[in-house]
């Protein structure tokens, strides 16, 4: 499992948000957010994780598990990919979800160049 910091950074990158934008939307200082993303703060409060899960459009259970607050039971479904799974009339395996996310990040990074 990825660290909380790398998970938060990946989710922020997917949403194409800066630390300042997240700060403005959540009230969490960008310095604190930076410390979270760099794994300098390992166990933030559930309230902080809730705010971040909301802005990143992610199930809070993923962040709670990444922080070690709860045990991860199974791979959470990514809301970002639910339309893809629905439109293909099949469910995606966790490996397929991760591959789609990596591909989407690749496309977005190359689009900005």
Q: What is the pLDDT of residues 37-50, one digit of tens each?
A: 999 998 899 999 99
Class of domain 4-66: mainly alpha
pLDDT number for residue 89: 46
pLDDT number for residue 95: 76
Residue 91 CB partners (closer than 8 Å, separation 6+): 85
**Both tokens of residue 37?**
């993303």
Q: Taking the model in full, what pTM does it have?
A: 0.63
Asked whether the CA dihedral 40, 20, 27, 77 is positive or negative, the reply is: negative
Mean pLDDT for the chain overall: 81
Low-confidence ranges of the chain (pLDDT < 70): 1, 72-92, 111-113
Ordered by start, the domain boundaries in the chain are: 4-66, 79-111
């Amino acid at each position: 499992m990825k660290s909380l910091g790398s998970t938060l950074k990946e989710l922020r990158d997917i949403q194409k948000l800066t630390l300042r934008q997240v700060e403005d939307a959540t009230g969490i200082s960008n310095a604190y957010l930076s410390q979270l993303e760099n794994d300098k703060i390992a166990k933030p409060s559930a309230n902080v994780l809730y705010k971040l899960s909301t802005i990143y459009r992610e199930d809070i259970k993923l962040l709670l598990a990444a922080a070690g607050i709860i045990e991860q039971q199974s791979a959470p479904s990514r809301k970002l990919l639910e339309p893809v799974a629905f439109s293909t009339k099949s469910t995606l395996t966790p490996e397929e979800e991760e591959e789609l996310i990596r591909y989407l990040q690749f496309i977005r990074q190359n689009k900005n160049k």
